[in-house]
Amino acid sequence: AAAELASNLDAAAGPELAGLMTDSDSAVRWWGTLGLLMRGGDAVTKNFAALEKALGDTSPAVRIAAAQALTVSTV
């Protein structure tokens, strides 16, 4: 379900994706983070704090996706 939500590119899914970033499953957190990245600058800017927090996630994949997303907001 997380993968489907992230990949459907519905702009309105941003808040739900940010919510996935607090899930206990690192794969769900990764999909939430990746979903924000795929939506680009506006979604990243709106969820900057959650993405910044994800830089300290226990999962390297989540940390990498968060770092990638945060570079979108600075371009």
Contacts 24+ apart (CB under 8 A), 20-28: 21/50, 21/51, 21/53, 21/54, 21/62, 26/57, 26/58, 26/59, 26/61, 26/62, 27/2, 28/2
DSSP alpha helices (H): ranges in the chain? 2-7, 14-20, 26-39, 41-46, 48-54, 60-72
Q: Give residue-wise pLDDT tens across range 11-38.
A: 899 999 999 999 999 999 999 999 999 9
pLDDT for 11 equals: 87
> In terms of pTM, does the model score above 0.75?
yes
CB atoms within 10 A of CB 11: 9
